[in-house]
Structure 1
Amino acid sequence: MTPLTDDELGALAADLESDRVERKQSWRGDAPEKGRQAVCAFANDLPNHRLSGVLLVGIKDDGTSMGPEFEVTDELLKTLADIKTDGKITPPPSLTVAKRQLLGREVAVVTVRPADAPPVRLDGRIWIRIGPRRGQASAQDERILNEKRRYRDQSFDTHPVGGSTLDDLSRSYFENEFLPQAVARDVLETNGRSYEERLASLGMIASVDDPTPTVVGLLTLGKSPRTWVPPAYIQFLRIRGTQLGDPVVDEAELDGNLDTMLRRLDDKLRATLAVSVDFTSGVTTDVRTAPYPLSALQQLTRNAVMHRTYEGTNAPVRVYWFDDRIEISNPGGPYGAVTPENFGQPGVSDYRNPVLAGVLKTLGFVQRFGFGIVEARRAMAANGNPPVEFQAEATTVLATLRIATGGAPT
């Protein structure tokens, strides 16, 4: 994302009628909520400017500087950067945060790039710019945003899958389980959208006029996702030993829609994650030590499902559980801003499948974007395990978790 020049920022700050700028005097009171609404609206880019929008913190509504009483602190910049990762906006927005000099004073600048896969939602609501104001999208606005997605350089998860039809999606699951989680209740009660319009708005079909299910639609709502997306499953092996070729004592192919597949995986992880019991400490209650923390396994396997490639491969996500380690691998190497050199570094993230990432957040499998590896590392350290090892290559990412000291084979 090319930063705007000082002259460009100054012109936007002074243009009180522009729909590409939002000004906030500070980041207190209702400013965080309205600021997120502005970010959501800039990401949707309903006017189709195809230009970045900016949120300026430290500028008054009349375009003048707040003056010396306003300071851009590191804490403020961190709070603004969290807009991208806190999971309130889905799919996650592409934005940068910086401290700049504007009108002779420090200003915090959030620059938001138009989304490749609109509509973008904030807590289940679609926000757009209507001149210098923000507002919620109408049914026609949603239709326009969906049409924009069709003609952009789409992420693969939004591609329609030829030959599939609406009959391949579970309408009951969509209307009774997924939709109430994805769209705010008051919006559902008042918007009057048709079944096809709701599917299109959430990226589950190409458009109302072309109701072909997309890749993410089949993964999320499909009655049989693997029929249309063959690699949409997780291969689980429990190997009694330390290398491939040793006896396999448990094997499963976990599939179904995303909700079913990941819940089946959670059940498999819990069943396999036996604990060692310490009877020697002299205390009256057993002291149990897990060989691996469940949260680390969940974060890394869900990350694998989220970030893998579904294009040009039939390979599944693999979870191979050896006596001394667990290997989690997914097809599809580092993507976008993530490289083999910076893989796993805090704050470095990108999304091969942005709509799929939003679905996993909606379903509750992801709490914050970009924090899976951070949480896995924290949980492993707290449990006494060695650090997670990552091997990021062009076509695959392998995460290796070593057993905790004293952990028993399961």
Structure 2
Amino acid sequence: MKPLTDDELVALIQDIESDRVERKETWRGSAPEKGREAVCAFANDLPHHGLPGVLFVGIKDDGTPAGPEFEVTDQLLQTLADIKTDGKITPPPTMTVAKRAVLGRDVAVVTVWPADAPPVRLDGRLWIRTGPRRGQATAQDERVLNEKRRYQDRSFDTHPIHSSTLDDLSRAYFETEYLPQAVARDVLEANGRSLEERLASLGMIASVDDTTPTVVGMLTLGKSPRTWVQSAYVQFLRIRGTQWGDPVLDEQELDGSLDTMLRRLDDKLRATLSVSVDFTSGATTEIRSSAYPLSALQQLVRNAVMHRTYEGTNAPVRVYWFDDRIEISNPGGPYGAVTVENFGRPGISDYRNPVLAGVLKTLGFVQRFGFGIAESRRALQANGNPPLEFQVEPTVVLATIRKAT
């Protein structure tokens, strides 16, 4: 993702007919809504340029800089960066935000690279560019984007699972539960697409012509996902003691579709989470304190399911609950922009499974992208737990949460 040069930025600004540029004089009024639509359209890259699109804030529609009253502040840059992480666009777009000096003035530049696994949606709607205009995709546009994903995808979650068929997916769950959450109601009522077109558009099958379920399709809609993706489960152990080899009080393998598996895991965490009651503090009402904040455990386990590798391994996500700590490990080390050195640093995130990340957002298990670790740390600190610990290796990430004292 090499940044565009100043000359390239100026050329885009001045090309009024280009479908790779969106200009906003300010970030007020309808600009945030229209700007997100442009980011979504650039990520879809319907013309198949293979080049980034750019959203300029501080440039008028005619290509001239905004007036002196416009200022590129740190708050504006952070607001623009939130487009990637606020969960409105799924899968999350690959983009950068920077302040650049262009045409003699400071301008906010949002650079958006074409998605590896289109289509990309904004609040359940699919936006594209046609020349200098943006609009919602037609059924034919969606087919084109589906084919782009089929032939250029790089993420394993979009790969077809050979020998599986549509019969291995739950049509009832897709139509009654998942689809209404993934696609805006008015779009569903208006588009009249077939089952195959809808599945392909959401990445659940390879294409309309090749209805083989994908990895993410099987994980999301599969009647028996683990039959086809052997690592698709969470192993839970409750160990009485603090050492490996101490007695195991409870052991369970939690599997099923993503929705079923994560809800079963939530139930297991709630049931295991011990709560002490303080009747001695002199308060008129009892004070309940927990050894661990449930929200932190949920964030860390969901992060593990989202970021783990499903390729070339039969290992599950593991949750080992000792008397003094909880260890959560997932197969698959740092990916992309995330390294051993910068793991867990605020603002550093990448997605091994971008379509799967979008599914978890659609199902409500993820509220914002890239914030799970930060939110877990805040919850642990508020609960009085020691700081979250990570052991990061090339093929595994181990998170250790120590009991509050």
Query: Which category of TM-score, normalised to the shorter sequence, fits these structures?
Result: over 0.9
State the shift of 1:279 in Å.
2.0
State the shift of 1:288 in Å.
1.0
**1:401: which partner in 2?**
401
**1:200: which partner in 2?**
200
Counterpart-to-counterpart distance in 1, 2:283 and 2:176: 49
1:40 match: secondary structure:
helix
State the shift of 1:154 in Å.
2.1
Q: In 2, are the aligned partners of 1:276 and 1:290 still within 8 Å (CA)? A: yes
State the shift of 1:150 in Å.
1.1
TM-score, length of structure 2 as denominator length: 1.00
State the shift of 1:280 in Å.
1.5
**1:300: which partner in 2?**
300
How many residue pairs align between the two structures?
Answer: 405
Counterpart-to-counterpart distance in 1, 2:196 and 2:110: 35
Counterpart-to-counterpart distance in 2, 1:283 and 1:77: 47
User: 1:227-376 alignment to 2 at 5 Å?
Assistant: 227-376=227-376
Counterpart-to-counterpart distance in 1, 2:210 and 2:282: 69
Gapped regions of structure 1 (runs ≥ 5):
406-410
Deviations 1:37-62 (A, max 9, x none): 00000000000000000000000000
1:151 match: secondary structure:
helix
Question: Mean Cα displacement is larger for which, 276-285 or 43-52?
Answer: 276-285
State the shift of 1:67 in Å.
2.9
Q: CA RMSD in A?
A: 0.5
State the shift of 1:291 in Å.
0.1
Counterpart-to-counterpart distance in 1, 2:52 and 2:109: 12
State the shift of 1:153 in Å.
4.0
Return the letter of the residue paired with 2:70. F
State the shift of 1:312 in Å.
0.4
**2:51: which partner in 1?**
51
Counterpart-to-counterpart distance in 2, 1:218 and 1:107: 44
State the shift of 1:189 in Å.
0.1
1:259 match: secondary structure:
helix
Counterpart-to-counterpart distance in 2, 1:382 and 1:195: 47
2:147 is the alignment partner of 1:147? yes
Identity of aligned residues (%): 83
1:357 match: secondary structure:
helix
1:12 match: secondary structure:
helix
Return the letter of the residue paired with 1:196. E
**2:129: which partner in 1?**
129
2:72 is the alignment partner of 1:37? no
**2:8: which partner in 1?**
8
**1:70: which partner in 2?**
70
Return the letter of the residue paired with 2:213. P
Gapped regions of structure 2 (runs ≥ 5):
none
Query: Which runs of 4 or more aligned residues in structure 1 lie more than 6 Å from their structure 2 counterparts after TM superposition?
Result: none
State the shift of 1:284 in Å.
2.4
State the shift of 1:286 in Å.
1.2
Deviations 1:144-186 (A, max 9, x none): 0000011114200000000000000000000000000000000
1:42 match: secondary structure:
helix
Counterpart-to-counterpart distance in 2, 1:114 and 1:39: 10
Q: In 2, are the aligned partners of 1:67 and 1:105 still within 8 Å (CA)? A: no
Deviations 1:6-59 (A, max 9, x none): 111001001110000000000000000000000000000000000000000000
1:48 match: secondary structure:
coil
**1:115: which partner in 2?**
115
Counterpart-to-counterpart distance in 2, 1:204 and 1:146: 11
Question: Mean Cα displacement is larger for which, 379-388 or 278-287?
Answer: 278-287
2:152 match: secondary structure:
coil
